[in-house]
Amino acid sequence: MRTRWGAHGESGSVLVTAAIVAMLLGTIVLVAVTIAKRHEQEADASVDELNSFYGADAGLSAALVELRNGGDGMLGSEQAPVTFGGLTYWVEADAVDSKVTSLVSTATDGHRQSRIEMLVRNDSSEITDFGIFGKKLVDLKSNSKIDSYDSSLGTYASQVNGAYAHSNGNVGSNDNIAVAANAKVYGYAQYGPDGGDTISLAANVTITDGYGAAKTQISLPAITVPSYASLGALSVGTNQTKTIGPGNLQYTTLATNSNSTLNVKGPCNLVLTSSASIKANSSWNFDATNGPINVYAKGDFELKSNSTVTTTSKDPTKLTLYLSGVHASASSSSPKIDFSSNSQFYGTVYAPDLALTISSNFELFGSLKASWLTLASNCKVHFDENLALGKLDPGKGYSVIAWRPLEGALAATE
Amino acid sequence: MRATLLFLALAGAQELGPRDPADLAAGVARILSREEPLDASAVAAGASELLALGDVGAVLLQSLGTGRTPDALEGGGTRLGADQCALLRAAVTRLGPARLAAFVDAVEREPSSATSVAAALRVLALTPDARPRAMLVLARMAEANGCGAGVEDALEEALVAAFRRNARDCAAVAPAWKELGPMTASSVARALELTRDPEAVRCLGALLGRRSEFDACVLSALANQADLVSPADAETLANEVGTCLRARDSGCAQAACAVLVRLGVPSSVPSLIELLENDDPVLERAVLSALRAISGASLPASAGAWRSWFAREQEWWRERAPSEIEALAQASELETSLAELVARARELSSHPLFRDELVAAFGPLLGHAEPGARVLACQALQRLGSRLALPELCARLVDRDAQVVSAAHAALVALTGVDLPAKRVRWQRYLDAEAPSASVVPALGMVQPAR
């Protein structure tokens, strides 16, 4: 009896032990399954998070393209987001200042949401982006040509490949542009933003980067003419040579007669308060080897036919003609402005309130800004990209200046 | 001096008299260079003074050709301003028809110099019975002789003068079109553009497709006066222009985009979408700009996105627009609440693709007795963005309610980009000068919603 009782008791303890072991195993399996499940959920969440993050980034890319194409950078909305694969996104655009825009892209896969902010700067349509600019008109007569080159890389001739050097010879106006037969613009042509502003194209016209309306008007800063003690009238008689500069010089009038030569040495600020007339068969030489030369002309400025303007330096950044006179209309004849000189001019001509007609004899390497601007038939302008401050990409130049995921935005929306 | 002597021969100068050509040229240059503004009597007096110098015909005609004072002064002449040109034309006219006709005949026989051809064309511009055909023949000969580049402006001036004298003369261009060189053809297209007459627009339309190499030029001229195309003709013209979107020449396709933007016809959207995913990035940019301008929507360069958007817009136009327009039309009769009007105006104004068609829908609201409804109409028209609303908005500037005046003024400024004061007279003057002619702009309520 005793033995039987003992055998019965042993079998009970085995059963209990087995049950405990089974429970332990079950717990271990349950824990393992739970952990695995948790890992799986975390992995899923991570993938969702990554998907929404990529979706937000794609939204930013689309918004940037949108801006570059002339849009406002806003895509979709929270109520009507843009569908992108299995994701949706919307992008809000806010102006930080006149040049910088904040783009915030929000994307979700229905569970997780990501937000990224990107700051972009509008480098488009700076006045310096344009090789030639006419506030009220650019009139390119037949066979005229505008291209570009970079004076910091060498001469224009060394950069010419075929018919032109570079294709940033952009042409701009706040109003109208007229391009006559066979004219060639190796760049972009941007006319004014108002509904009535136009571009007129003749036959056989080349505009390599196309054309379009500006988004806003471009301002041409006013000229501030310095003032120095007047040295009276400067006249160079027949067969004479005179040299002025360096320094700050102011004359009432400047006149050269036949077979005369006037040399100006830089650095020099030369102010002409009344008139400048470089007559036929005379020369005006600018030597900017030792420093830049700025010429300020407040009245008449005539480079007559068969006169010659030469520049010792072939660097257009070293010479600027500031013409501060004002014309009431394109056909105004006062002050008298004449660019008929037989010259290869390296520099900038800046005349924001004047009507300028550049003759075919006057080949310009640099840039040209005026109110009404006409390039005569066969005229050539080679815009120096070194004078540009922007991206040389009028109407489409946006650059990214900052990018960040927004803190605390990676929250589950479930 | 050689040029002056050549002109003496061409101009059939009579005996020179006591003064030599250099003195005459200097005298003419001195009178033409005067800077004082010239009124009609001063022009007449100046012309008499010029002719009193002696036989100045050749000198005057040379200046007429160059647009500059005679080459008498040291370093050549200076560019003539508008007043000086008027004086010069008056003096040339006084040379008499026989002398001028003889000069033109001589140039026609030997059109070898750009200056003489330009002078002859400007003489023809002054001749009331001169026909465009004669001008085209002269310019074509000059171009064939290699001196076409200097006569473009003169040809434009002469043709514009002829077309403005008689708009039916525009039709004279078509038979000569096939014979014209690129410079003459370009000047013709530009002259038709500058004429700004519906007859000139029709003529340009007729030239389209006749010479593919000039189509970009014709399209550019059409784009710049699309405001003269009546709404009834716009769709037909848009269809014709749409065929140019497929032109091999990218410049022609870009110019076609520009015309379609100015016409703003919704039916041109599908053909633009087809061209959206183009290999030519310049053309793609032009197409996208055109789509955005026509639609008022800012979608990316995805043909799929644009197609689905356009399908939704068409469906809305078919299914929803008629009832919404009808409801607005009955707003005053049914005493609709302002909240309901706001909802309807918001819905209608959020479909700028149909901006021109929808302008008329806001007519009843602009005449609503409730000032709030009139303000709402002004704001909705501003959002809609159609220039066809300008006359009605201008009329609201004399509304008895100050808020309506303010809203109408804000809408006018936004639609035109011009910041004039809120005075009806000032705006009416601007609209008369700048906006399309009243005959082209339909009165509100005349445009039918269904296409």
Q: Which residue's structure tokens are 């890319």?
A: A61
Mean per-residue pLDDT for A17-43? 86
- Spatial distance between the Cα atoms of B201 and B207, rounded to a whole number of angstroms: 10
In this prediction, residue B334 carries a pLDDT of 63
Mean per-residue pLDDT for A134-159? 95
Asked if pLDDT for residue A344 goes beyond 80, the answer is yes
Q: What pLDDT, in 10s, does the model give residues B131-148?
A: 899 999 999 999 998 887
Which phi and psi (to 5°) does residue B171 adopt?
Answer: -65, -20
In this prediction, residue B317 carries a pLDDT of 94
Q: Which residue's structure tokens are 């892209």?
A: A105
Six token digits for residue A79: 């109520």
Mean per-residue pLDDT for B334-358? 86
ipTM of the modeled complex: 0.82
Q: Predicted confidence band at B230 (pLDDT cuts at 50, 70, 90)? A: confident
B449: preceding bond cis by omega (within 30 degrees): no
CA-atom Rg of chain A in angstroms: 36
Angle of CA points A133, A134, A140, to nearest 5°? 85
Chain A nearest C-alpha distance from B304 (Å): 12
What single-letter DSSP state applies at residue B186?
H
Asked if pLDDT for residue B38 goes beyond 80, the answer is no
Six token digits for residue A181: 């037969």
Q: What's the count of helices (H) and strands (E) in chain B, helices before strands?
A: 26, 0
Question: Lowest mean pLDDT: which of A11-15, A113-117, B84-88, B277-281?
Answer: A11-15
Percent of chain A with pLDDT over 70: 90
3-state helix, strand, coil in chain A (%, to 5): 20, 40, 40
Mean per-residue pLDDT for B79-93? 89
Q: Predicted confidence band at B72 (pLDDT cuts at 50, 70, 90)? A: low
Q: Predicted confidence band at A351 (pLDDT cuts at 50, 70, 90)? A: very high
Q: Predicted confidence band at B20 (pLDDT cuts at 50, 70, 90)? A: confident
In this prediction, residue B426 carries a pLDDT of 92
In this prediction, residue A174 carries a pLDDT of 94
- Spatial distance between the Cα atoms of A354 and A351, rounded to a whole number of angstroms: 6
- Spatial distance between the Cα atoms of A278 and A257, rounded to a whole number of angstroms: 7
Six token digits for residue A400: 């990214």
| Long-range contacts from A338-342, C-beta under 8 angstroms, 24+ separation | A338/A301, A338/A302, A338/A303, A338/A304, A338/B78, A338/B79, A339/A303, A340/A303, A340/A304, A340/A305, A340/A307, A340/B76, A341/A278, A341/A303, A341/A304, A341/A305, A341/A306, A341/A307, A341/A308, A341/A309, A342/A305, A342/A306, A342/A307, A342/A308
Partner B contacted by A361 (CB < 8 A): no
Asked if pLDDT for residue B271 goes beyond 90, the answer is yes
Of the candidates A207, A209, A357, which has its C-beta nearest B79's C-beta? A357
What single-letter DSSP state applies at residue A373?
E
Of the candidates B85, B149, B289, which has its C-beta nearest A142's C-beta? B149
CB contact under 8 A, A200 and B221: yes
Of the candidates A193, A201, A396, which has its C-beta nearest B217's C-beta? A201
Mean pLDDT across chain A: 88
CA-atom Rg of chain B in angstroms: 28
Partner B contacted by A240 (CB < 8 A): no
In this prediction, residue B438 carries a pLDDT of 37
Whole-angstrom CA distances from A311 to A261, A320, B84 are 13, 11, 35
Mean per-residue pLDDT for B410-439? 80
Where is pLDDT greater, at B223 or B330? B223
Q: Predicted confidence band at A76 (pLDDT cuts at 50, 70, 90)? A: confident
In sequence order, the β-bridge partners of residue A251 are A272
In this prediction, residue B39 carries a pLDDT of 84
Percent of chain B with pLDDT over 90: 53
Question: In degrees to the nearest 10, what's the CA dihedral of B296, B302, B304, B309?
Answer: -10
Q: Predicted confidence band at B25 (pLDDT cuts at 50, 70, 90)? A: confident
Chain A nearest C-alpha distance from B334 (Å): 33
In this prediction, residue B444 carries a pLDDT of 40
Q: In sequence order, which residues have a C-beta less than 8 Å from that of residue A43 and are 6 or more positions away?
A: none
Mean per-residue pLDDT for B74-90? 80
pTM over 0.80: no
> What secondary structure, in 3-state letters, does B202-223 show?
HHHHHHCCCCHHHHHHHHHHHH
CB contact under 8 A, A182 and B78: no
- Residue contacts between A and B (CB atoms, under 8 Å): 137
Chain A nearest C-alpha distance from B417 (Å): 7
Whole-angstrom CA distances from B61 to A13, B57, B93, B302, B430 are 133, 6, 10, 59, 38
DSSP B301-350: S-HHHHHHHHHHHHHHHHHTHHHHHHHHHTTTTTT--HHHHHHHHHHHHT
In this prediction, residue A190 carries a pLDDT of 94
Partner B contacted by A195 (CB < 8 A): yes
